[in-house]
Amino acid sequence: MHETGAPPEVAEAASRRSDARAARDWDTADRLRGAIEAAGWRVIDAGMSYRLERASPPDVEVGGEIRYGRSDAVPSRLDEPATGLATVVVVATPDTAETLASVEALRATAPGGVDVVLVADGLSNAAIHGLPRAAAGGDTASVAGRVPVELVRTSEPLGQAAAINIGIRRSRAPVVVLLDPSIAPTGDVITPLVHALDDPTVAVAGAYGLTSGNLRSFEEATSADAAAIQGYLMAFRRSDAAKRGPLDEGFRFYRNLDVWWSLVLRDEGEDRPPRRAIVVAGLPAARGEPYAWRTTPAAVRDRLSKRNFYRVLDRFRTRLDLAS
């Protein structure tokens, strides 16, 4: 057996589980496995031997800054009263210049009441150099004080869904807006999205939509109503995210996560009409190719996209009422 630095209580539980397995006491073995996993570890069996591995990276403190090992370790504001207009969640990429340009464009055009949560998912110090980091007292952005930025870092890459979950947990405002760094606002994109959500029948709104008649193939929406909103610029209510989230962190790659989350937000149950996904036309923004798209080999992109799409089908394959 190999315990890989596990805490004493976890190592003891693993040893007792091994004894229970040897005695064919499967109920006790399963209960102890649950306790081990709840403590953030997993047990890997090899015959009657085993080894322990961390189920998630550890939190790491560097210079007084916490780098989180899992999304639910990040302190949540979701139980606090909502304040302001919108919280914009940006998952930074290794292309620091692109991320900075997107955030700065937002800060130059956003109305009052907007704040930004910038999530650096396992990025190196070099990759975040120069990014706004107001939470650490090092805000260097050009529109100082107008749009506050909080930088949250992880100790290792956790994936797209986990990074978004972190941003949602830190959101202050009643509306959460996801902004991919490939999008650079050229005007106020926030107010129209917030206003779209004034309609209680609307669950999610954004600049770019997808339609589907069967939830198996999707194409760009050409009208206001859509089946899903693309995650490059997407808005939803913080209260909905708190009730219906978190996002499935099996979506480490970004493709099709937006479809899954749009359907989750829209779904009112099979016996009730779904809420709507609305494309807000004409939002002032310049759109580029996402970093993960342009830097991931096509074959890998396709494989990861298909894997993610199976996650969509696993939950929604029979829900043609959500097609649009």
Q: Starting from the edge strand earliest in sequence, which strands make up the sheet with 228-229, in order?
A: 219-220, 209-211, 228-229
The tens digit of pLDDT for each residue in 137-177 reads 334 343 444 799 999 999 999 999 999 999 999 999 999 99
Which is the CATH superfamily of the domain at 65-288+314-322? Spore Coat Polysaccharide Biosynthesis Protein SpsA; Chain A (3.90.550.10)
Report residue 124's pLDDT band, with 50, 70 and 90 as the boundaries.
very high
Residue 113's region, left for phi above 0, alpha for psi from -120 to 50, else beta, is left
* Domain extent listing, the chain: 8-54, 65-288+314-322
The model's pTM is: 0.85
The tens digit of pLDDT for each residue in 77-91 reads 999 999 999 999 999
> In this structure, are residues 99 and 131 in contact, taking their beta carbons and an 8 Å threshold?
yes
> In this structure, are residues 206 and 234 in contact, taking their beta carbons and an 8 Å threshold?
yes
Q: How far apart are CA 184 and CA 103, in angstroms?
A: 8
The tens digit of pLDDT for each residue in 182-223 reads 999 999 999 999 999 999 999 999 999 999 999 999 999 999
Q: What are phi and psi of 38, to 5 degrees?
A: -65, -25
